[in-house]
Amino acid sequence: MSTFDLAAGGDPDLISRPRRNRQSPAIRSMCRETRLGVGQLIYPMFLHAEGDDVPIASMPGQTRWSLEGLVAEVKRVYELGIDKVVVFPKVDEALKTRTGEEAFNIDGLIPQAIRRIKDASPDTCVITDIALDPYNSDGHDGIVADSGEILNDETVGVLCEQALAHARAGADIVAPSDMMDGRVGSIRAVLDQEGFSQTLIMAYTAKYASAYYGPFRGALDSAPSVSSGRPIPKDKSTYQMDPANVREALRELELDEGEGADIVMVKPAGPYLDVIRALREATNLPVAAYQVSGEYLMIKSAADAGWLDEKRVVLESLLGIRRAGADVILTYFAPQVAEWL
């Protein structure tokens, strides 16, 4: 090294200085590798058949909307740039059955909501959840046999009817979240046969049997029921994926891609960034990721307690999901992010 005075001018042999690319907001923006935009966000919304909009105790800041309230909120967030919503129903207990027939009632709560949204905000992309847990008196995504087994093929038949009912009501995208084997291909075949070849399927390809879903189940009152006296599985581990596995996600991806999925999804998002990356590297399809209720509540609780800066942490968490490879993110923070951006 030369006798150059380091204090006066630095090391003359240090040619590469990464900090040069960080020295101002303009330069950092120019060099930024990953960007987060409003168009990459989907807003999950909750709906019930009551006339009032009700705050959700398990998810502070979120609401269980009436039909009127839902439509008004969809119009409000559309003005913020949020043009994609996914709607989840809280179904009256009196309508729930073991086989979930209410799921494909063309005059049910979700078909009503689809039609109302499309009338009021025709350019909003409406996504619907395809699964039986909101409609199933046993609280599972599939039909539960007397033995306690979750019946795969029988469930898929009901899911096809549900997807068809939603497509007929005007849904742009149906999103099977049930994790039954073969359901993507069966739904694609039924939609195509009935003239809905333009309806997209966003498959929950790698949906894990996660402990992060608790607040969501409180929002919909859809947790497995173990009080019937029958051997109802206490959790969903026989059909949702083992949190320990990532190669299995690639197997599910290959199946969903082959069966006609248009978009594939990882759920949850934050704890499964490696899975998002694995799917991103293995497919040319768009990859979605769901920042779930537990992720939302942890950030909200810490921010409300004054331990975190909510805006900075939310944006950082979503940027991390994007950086892992997600093209689109389902997040309850969507309206806030739209205002911040």
How many structural domains is the chain composed of? 1
Q: What is the pLDDT of residue 221?
A: 64
Catalytic-labelled residue, pool 96, 236, 267, 300: 267
- Distance from the first to the final alpha carbon of the chain: 47
Please report, for the domain that includes residue 115, its CATH number: 3.20.20.70
Kindly list the averaged pLDDT for each block of 10 residues, start to end, along the chain of length 341.
56 87 93 93 96 93 96 98 97 93 96 98 97 92 93 97 98 97 98 97 98 78 66 92 98 98 98 98 97 96 96 98 98 97 91
Phi, psi of 83 (to 5 degrees): -115, 15
Q: CA separation (Å) from 187 to 84, 129, 143, 190?
A: 22, 13, 17, 5
Catalytic residue check, 267:
yes
Catalytic residue check, 207:
yes
Strand partners, 206: 266
Q: What is the pLDDT of residue 8?
A: 58
In a domain? residue 20: no
Please give the residue range of the domain that contains residue 276.
Answer: 36-340
Q: What is the pLDDT of residue 9?
A: 63
In a domain? residue 14: no
Global pTM exceeds 0.75: yes
Q: What is the pLDDT of residue 70?
A: 98
Catalytic-labelled residue, pool 90, 207, 236, 300: 207
In a domain? residue 10: no
In a domain? residue 25: no
Q: What is the pLDDT of residue 125?
A: 97
In a domain? residue 21: no
In a domain? residue 19: no
| Closest CA relative to residue 70, chosen from 56, 88, 57, 58 | 88
Positive or negative torsion for Cα 97, 99, 100, 104: negative
